[in-house]
Amino acid sequence: MTFPLITTSRWEIEDAHTIDRYVETEGYKALTKALTLTPEEVHDEVKKASLLGRGGAGFPAGVKWGFLPENVWPRYLVVNGDESEPGTYKDRILLERDPHQLIEGCLITCYALGLSQCFLYVRGEMAHGQERVASALNEAYEAGYVGKNILGTEFSVDIVLHWGAGAYIVGEETALIESLEGNRGMPRLKPPFFPASIGLYGKPTIVNNVETLSNVPWIVLHGGEEFSKIGSEQSTGTRIFAVSGHVNNPGVFEVEFGTTTFRDLIMGENYGQGILNGNKIKAFIPGGASAPWFFEEHLDVPLEKSTVDQAGSMLGSGAIVVMDETTDIVRACHNVVRFFSRESCGKCAPCREGTSWLEKILQRIIDGNGRDDDLDLLLDVCDNISPGITWPPKQTTICPLGPSAVSPISSAIKKYKHEFEAYISQSSQGTPVGIQGGIL
């Protein structure tokens, strides 16, 4: 490893979540430095870094920041800590182990963009993360890093800890804003495409992921140019990946963008250490449950946004889920589709109806009631949610949740169609969905 750890540098330090240890390990130095610069200069550093958003879509943060309209006030920062994408496990550790780093990133962002208030939205189920962030905020307020006249300057901003109550869709940024306004967490109709123009309370709002903002202190302290030297040209810096499923050493690893491959992460001695029980790899999900699956032939694809996009999937939320040769592909596929079906917010018909029918059809195949034309039916429903079943997906819905349910089906059928057919060939045929043993 020749790159510096950017976001996980304090993970091995037991009390890194306390303000004392944080300050001892260069904490709040970047904020102090930022306050000697003009807000524009700070914004420029982040632009130079070409920091890609670490939430899922991978949109450049500096560009997103640039979408704020001039002279509209107040403006808000909303931190997306609603990590719920199956396989994804990084933001929770950042919240629990290094909450001050995130708080410092928020403060610098508010300073750079002239934001009036920050809302730090933490997923409801993460009780410990909420405790750590609450303690950190209390300490930081007390010590003068957050609130009125930060570090004795005119710069003043409040950070409010807000927490959710269990809904995957709230990770979509406009749904997050709805939830923060006290509403059902349903995505808003686009345009506007970015809440930077119309967001929280109808005002300009920047929504950034926990990991994205956790990079900001390092960028300001060491400079955007230094940051852009790490990783590859189009995917700068490092990225945190969670490797889970059938590997010997499941874990969460910070690696350099672009230079590391999936094989390194899954098989490497310092990372996943190969497949469980010496088995062969059957498939892997490269970027969270929404991403189309990869197979053995994709192992040498480098972890870089553009190459993974070209290969037909995405790095998404940094979640790699490995399935070995013992995996029942139909059941794995059903599992992921069930997730999207349950988490569909119900606003758009193709997703609400489509995901639930996909789940039911897969269920009947597993139950031994599959029909000969079920695979065509599955793909037909998929086509209604995401016309053409292409990548990147087209969508008939407001947000990408619906098309995400298409990914596991199209990938699994592409490579392991025979497993679906095996289920169907043994089936009793003809039992209508939902009427077990009955006659329609």
Contacting other proteins within 353-412 (CB under 8 A): none
* C-alpha distance from residue 351 to each of 183, 331, 386, 408 (Å): 20, 21, 9, 15
List the interface residues with other proteins, window 90-109 (CB under 8 A).
Answer: 91-92
Closest CA to 157 of 216, 122, 107, 213: 107
Minimum CB distance to other proteins smaller for 83 or for 374: 83
- Interface with other proteins, residue 147, by CB under 8 A: yes
- Interface with other proteins, residue 285, by CB under 8 A: yes
Using the contact rule CB under 8 A, the part of the chain among 54-62, 222-230, 340-348, 371-379 near other proteins is 340-348
Using the contact rule CB under 8 A, the part of the chain among 47-55, 198-206, 365-373, 389-397 near other proteins is 198-206
Evaluated on CA atoms 326, 328, 333, 335, the torsion sign reads: negative
Minimum CB distance to other proteins smaller for 131 or for 309: 131
- Interface with other proteins, residue 203, by CB under 8 A: yes
Compute the least distance from the CB of residue 308 to other proteins, in Å. Answer: 19
22 — phi, psi (to 5°)?
Answer: -60, -45
- With CB under 8 A as the contact rule, the residue among 116, 234, 248, 273 that binds other proteins is 116
Which secondary structure element, helix H or strand E, spans residue 162, and what is its range? strand 158-163
What tokens were used for 280? 């062969």
* C-alpha distance from residue 181 to each of 147, 166, 177, 403 (Å): 22, 16, 6, 27
Minimum CB distance to other proteins smaller for 47 or for 203: 203
- Interface with other proteins, residue 252, by CB under 8 A: yes
List the interface residues with other proteins, window 58-77 (CB under 8 A).
Answer: 71, 73-74
Minimum CB distance to other proteins smaller for 150 or for 213: 150
CB-CB contact of 13 with 172 (8 Å)? no
Instruction: Determine the distance from the C-alpha atom of residue 205 to the mean position of all C-alpha atoms in its chain, rounded to a whole number.
Output: 19
What tokens were used for 183? 């509403």
Minimum CB distance to other proteins smaller for 254 or for 371: 254
- Interface with other proteins, residue 331, by CB under 8 A: yes
- Interface with other proteins, residue 38, by CB under 8 A: yes
Closest CA to 219 of 65, 21, 97, 96: 65
Minimum CB distance to other proteins smaller for 136 or for 230: 136
- With CB under 8 A as the contact rule, the residue among 161, 213, 230, 303 that binds other proteins is 161
Compute the least distance from the CB of residue 68 to other proteins, in Å. Answer: 12
H helices present in 50-85, as ranges: 61-66
Q: Which residues contact 111 (CB under 8 A, 6 or more apart)?
A: 31, 34, 35, 39, 42, 155, 157
- Interface with other proteins, residue 36, by CB under 8 A: yes
Provide the β-strand partners of residue 302.
261
Distance CA 109, CA 208 (A): 10
Minimum CB distance to other proteins smaller for 118 or for 219: 118
- With CB under 8 A as the contact rule, the residue among 124, 295, 309, 433 that binds other proteins is 124
- With CB under 8 A as the contact rule, the residue among 49, 68, 78, 126 that binds other proteins is 126
Minimum CB distance to other proteins smaller for 34 or for 361: 34
- Interface with other proteins, residue 282, by CB under 8 A: no
Which secondary structure element, helix H or strand E, spans residue 129, and what is its range? helix 127-142
- Interface with other proteins, residue 280, by CB under 8 A: no
- Interface with other proteins, residue 56, by CB under 8 A: no
ω before 432 within 30° of 0 (cis)? no
Compute the least distance from the CB of residue 117 to other proteins, in Å. Answer: 7
- Interface with other proteins, residue 204, by CB under 8 A: no
- Interface with other proteins, residue 196, by CB under 8 A: no
List the interface residues with other proteins, window 301-320 (CB under 8 A).
Answer: 319
- Interface with other proteins, residue 167, by CB under 8 A: yes
What is residue 234's three-state secondary structure?
Answer: coil
Closest CA to 271 of 254, 294, 295, 257: 254
Minimum CB distance to other proteins smaller for 236 or for 264: 264
Say which residue the tokens 């002279």 belong to.
Answer: 71
Minimum CB distance to other proteins smaller for 91 or for 173: 91
Provide the β-strand partners of residue 74.
none
